[in-house]
Amino acid sequence: MTDDTLVGVIVACVEPIRAVAALDDELRRGMYAFIRAARRPVTRDEAAAAVGISRKLAAFHLDKLVDAGVLRAGYQQVARRVGRAPKVYEPTGTDIRVNIPPRQHDLLAGILLDAVLTGGDRDTALRAARERGQDLGAAEREQSRPGRLGAERAITLATAALQRSGFEPDRTSPTCMRLRTCPFHPLATRAPDMVCGINHAFLAGLVDGLDTTAVHAVLDPRAGECCVELRA
């Protein structure tokens, strides 16, 4: 990995985030966040209840989000249903350059900048990422003072630390947590080996900082999800 490669990614990290008019409205942001978190098609009634508005008003806002390309609409197929199937909505998968979901471009830029200033190769970037993670884990441990950590408690602390840092962790079981989306997307599509390695090193450092051997950061890429999982 050359200095030019690192600097190019840094420049991409700190580009101004474009405003998305469709998500300017607080109600639309709330419904979009609810639909993302549901991870399944959501009906108008469910979206309306999530933000406390009428079904008719929810339909108006949801259709605006469809027009903007951030949601897609379809119809829920229900066996032996009389009448028209209910309309449902789900994310399109388009990357939205606002904080839904949070993207950690500043963190990635800082890690890469550290690497450029201290050597500029891939190993340097991975060390910088691990150190950033260790700092986060140590700060979480200092704040909570948990004593000796088992897997379940370690996952709880790691999840809390990542949420406060703007990540989107998904607790899939008491002793397993994945990041729901890649915190560095779409940059990961430009240099997947480097960016996934940095993400893995950062989460491994987080575990180190928590001072536990009960949990490990494992590279486990899956379509549409982050490449790293914390597991017992």
Span(s) in the chain for CATH 3.30.1380: 105-231
Structure token digits, residue 64 = 């605006």
CA count, 13 A, side-chain hemisphere, 230: 32
Class of domain 21-91: mainly alpha
Q: Name, in order, each residue with C-beta under 8 angstroms of 184's C-beta and a sequence gap of 6 or more.
A: 103, 104, 105, 108, 195, 198, 199
Q: How many CB atoms lie within 10 A of CB 212?
A: 21
Task: Note down pLDDT in tens along the chain; length 232 residues.
Answer: 454 544 444 434 433 333 256 677 788 888 888 888 888 899 999 999 999 999 999 998 898 888 878 888 888 776 555 667 788 999 886 555 444 455 455 566 656 656 655 666 778 778 888 988 899 899 988 888 888 889 999 999 998 888 887 777 888 899 999 887 776 666 666 677 777 888 899 899 999 999 999 999 998 887 767 788 999 9
Span(s) in the chain for CATH 1.10.10.10: 21-91
Residue 19 in 3-state DSSP? coil
CATH of 105-231, one of 3.40.50, 2.60.120, 3.30.1380, 1.10.3470: 3.30.1380
Q: How many CB atoms lie within 10 A of CB 34?
A: 15
Burial label, 108 (beta-carbon count in 10 A; 0-12, 13-18, 19+): buried
